[in-house]
Amino acid sequence: MSEDLYRTVTDFARDTPPWVHVFAEIGTDAGLLLFGVLFVAAWWRVRPADGRAVALAALAPVATAFGYVVSETLKSLVDEERPCRAVVGAVASIAECPPYGDWSFPSNHSAIAGASAMALALAWRRIAWLTMPLAVVMASSRVFVGVHYPHDVAAGLVVGALAVVLFVRLLTGPTQRLVETMRMSRSGAARWLAGPGPGIEPAAALPRQRGRRAAPRRAAGRRRVS
């Protein structure tokens, strides 16, 4: 079934205009670059927030790297040949077929995309509408250009996302404590990386409120003397 779907997708891909081929080839790497920008943006926006929010943003790229390691480990165990060499009767792939020994299952690109999307969704829920579809498009492009089976990219997305959920679940607490320690550090660099944390505006406003209450009492005292 996966081979039949692979043939269908690659046959369709071959009939698309050349500019679509170029877009599909560079699209995955461009998407990974966009995820990198979003990692930085997610960290920057939560610097004034509590320690847990900063911990989730800081863990996002590290958890993504963990997802890649898990995918690469599985790839070395499965040793599945690339469809661009293995599928009989398929058209030539748009992208160059990777060399022998660069196995197919699961797709590392898809694992990184799935891990990035999940990590960002955990750190910045409002952009899940962007990261999740982007990961699916990036993963699908690997079938479109002919270097992966559909089940490779589906497995990559799932492996990457699950690895991130496990990683974040285990390390959010310790990372939050590290962030809070860095915020009290004497090192300016550590405090800058951890962010200022939530403000204390109500306490700052308290002296002004006391000052305003004292004025009527003084005025009352002057009236009694006269």
* Closest listed residue to residue 119, CA positions, set 61, 158, 79: 61
Residue 192 lies in a domain: no
Quote the tokens at residue 206: 């308290």
> Radius of gyration of the chain from Cα atoms?
27
Residue 115 lies in a domain: yes
Could you tell me the pTM of the whole model?
A: 0.82
CATH number of the domain residue 106 falls in: 1.10.606.20
Residue 32 lies in a domain: yes
Contact by Cβ (8 Å): 28, 141: yes
Residue 201 amino acid letter: E
The number of folded domains in the chain is 1
Residue tagged 């002057």 (tokens):
222
Residue 91 amino acid letter: V
Share above pLDDT 70 across residues of the chain, in percent, rounded to a whole number: 88
CA 35 – CA 64 distance, rounded (Å): 10
Residue 10 lies in a domain: yes
CA 80 – CA 4 distance, rounded (Å): 17
Quote the tokens at residue 97: 């077929």
Which residues form the domain of 34?
A: 2-183
Residue 158 lies in a domain: yes
CA 56 – CA 89 distance, rounded (Å): 47
Residue 205 lies in a domain: no
Residue 19 lies in a domain: yes
Contact by Cβ (8 Å): 125, 55: no
CA 154 – CA 122 distance, rounded (Å): 20
**pLDDT tens-digit profile, the chain (226 residues):** 788 899 899 989 888 998 999 988 888 889 999 999 999 999 999 989 888 999 999 999 999 999 999 999 999 999 899 998 888 878 888 888 889 888 999 999 999 999 999 999 999 999 999 999 999 999 999 999 999 999 999 999 999 999 999 999 999 999 999 999 988 888 888 889 888 888 644 444 445 544 445 445 554 455 544 4
CA 8 – CA 13 distance, rounded (Å): 9
